[in-house]
Structure 1
Amino acid sequence: MDDLFFLEAFLLFIAPGPTNALLMAGAAKRRKAIPPLVAQACGYGIAAACWFSLRPLLPSGAIQVLKLVAALWLVILGLRLIGSGRIDASEDGDSRSVLVTTALNPKAFIYCLAIVPVDARPYELGFFWIVLLVITAATGSTWLLLGRQLNGGKEMADRVAGAALIAFALLLLRPLLAMAAT
């Protein structure tokens, strides 16, 4: 496992996105934190199970191409967050919305196909699935706390998160750049 694995995963899931926006909006509206966190875990668990199942069916070079596409997308999102306004959080922050949004969230795709080592054996994928759930619980909790505490300064939070997305994209490209250099 790469030394930066946990940092890459943390940066990916702490960055703003649709799930985190719903968690933050829901926290601003009510005090119940457990139902949306459980919905987030279920959504990421479902998505990861699907992506881990599809991994063996992908051609060998497909994951490298997907890493490049994912990194470019993260740079675009990061630049948009840095240069634009606030997170567009939906008024509907209920658990069902969190579950569906999370299951469709491309972060699970990026984690399963770009961060988890390509040579991970099928029995090791269970470990990476558990790591996904633990990291998303920690980062989701952070967004819930942010939603409760953040009365102003949302634009600054977007800029910091945008910079984190770009940093993650660069970390994601690091192995590809090393391969290109050889």
Structure 2
Amino acid sequence: MSLSFFLVSVVGLLLTPGPTNTLLAVAAASNGFRRALRLLPAELGAYLMVVVPVTLVAGPWLDARPAAMSAVTAAAGLWVAFLAVKLWRLPQASEGQGAAAVVAFRDVFVTTLLNPKALVIGLALMPRGTPGALLPWFGTLAAAICSVAVLWLLLGATLSRGRGLPPALRRGAAGYLGIVAIGLVARSL
């Protein structure tokens, strides 16, 4: 696979709505684009913490152990269900209350660690090779993660237009996360 085809594939995958993207949009909608930018290192760090070892070590191991892959998928589903309930029960934010009350660094980090997209990238999109040979792919992946995250933050900030997180958007995001959680748990069974 060429590096340009890899980039197109990764950006396409990262652009699809999912739990991490939903949290980024909610954070920007509740507290604005600039303040939500602090969540980017959580997403980037978590993706790299999964993709690098999966690409270099775990790919063949997980290929031979479908039960382990099911356990990872079930854990991801349970985490996303927890986030959905947390977001649904969140009281209406008062004026000036920031994204920290809605989406924490930890939420984005753990959600991204459990995001099946990281496994898809590490197991299916990344080529196999030595760490040195894969540096251009890891760098391209990091740039794609940051670029797509900024797009989701902009979307969230645009949806709220500085008025904070509308209750309908919060409940819609919680409902979407609930559907994703059900799908992940069902897939693991």
- Is TM (by shorter chain) over 0.5? yes
1:122 equivalent in alignment to 2:125: no
1:98 aligns with 2:127: no
Is residue 39–residue 98 contact of structure 1 (8 Å, CA) maintained in 2? yes
Q: Deviations over 1:79-137 (max 9, x none)?
A: xxxxxxxxx6936311111011111111111111111124x333222322222211010
User: How many pairs does the alignment contain?
Assistant: 130
Q: Following TM superposition, by how much is the alpha carbon of 1:56 offset from its aligned partner in structure 2, in angstroms?
A: 6.3
In structure 1, which of residues 44, 47, 51 is the aligned counterpart of residue 47 of structure 2? 44
- Matched residue type, 1:41: L
Separation in structure 2 between the aligned mates of residue 51 and residue 27 of structure 1, nearest angstrom: 30
Instruction: Kindly provide the amino acid, as one letter, of the partner of residue 116 in structure 1.
Output: M
Query: What is the aligned-residue RMSD (CA, Å)?
Result: 3.0
In structure 1, what is the equivalent of residue 74 of structure 2? none
- Aligned pair partner of 1:140 in 149, 159, 164: 149
Taking only the aligned residue pairs, the percentage that are identical comes to 29
Cα distance in 2 for partners of 1:148, 1:30 equals 8
- Cα distance in 1 for partners of 2:59, 2:108 equals 29
Residues 50 and 122, structure 2, Cα contact 8 Å, conserved in 1: no
For 1:24-173, list aligned pairs within 5 A: 24-31=25-32, 32-55=35-58, 57-58=60-61, 62=63, 90=87, 92-118=102-128, 120-150=129-159
Q: 2:133 and 2:56 mapped to 1: Cα distance?
A: 13
Segments of 5+ residues of structure 2 without an aligned counterpart are 70-83, 91-101, 161-165, 174-189
> Aligned equivalents of 1:145 and 1:112: distance in 2?
27
Q: What is the CA–CA distance in structure 2 between the aligned matches of 1:105 and 1:33, rounded to whole Å?
A: 20
- CA distance, structure 1, for counterparts of residue 138 and residue 18 of structure 2: 20
| Structure 1: unaligned runs, 5 residues or longer | 70-87, 159-182
In structure 2, the partner of 1:161 is none
Counterparts of 2:38 and 2:103, CA distance in 1: 11
Structure-2 change in CA distance of 1:26 and 1:10 (3 Å): same
1:41–1:137 CA contact under 8 A, matched in 2: yes
Tell which deviates more after alignment, 137-146 or 42-51: 42-51
Contact map agreement 1:52 1:125 (CA 8 A) in 2: no
* TM-score normalised according to structure 1 size: 0.61
Contact 2:56 2:130 in 1 (8 A): no
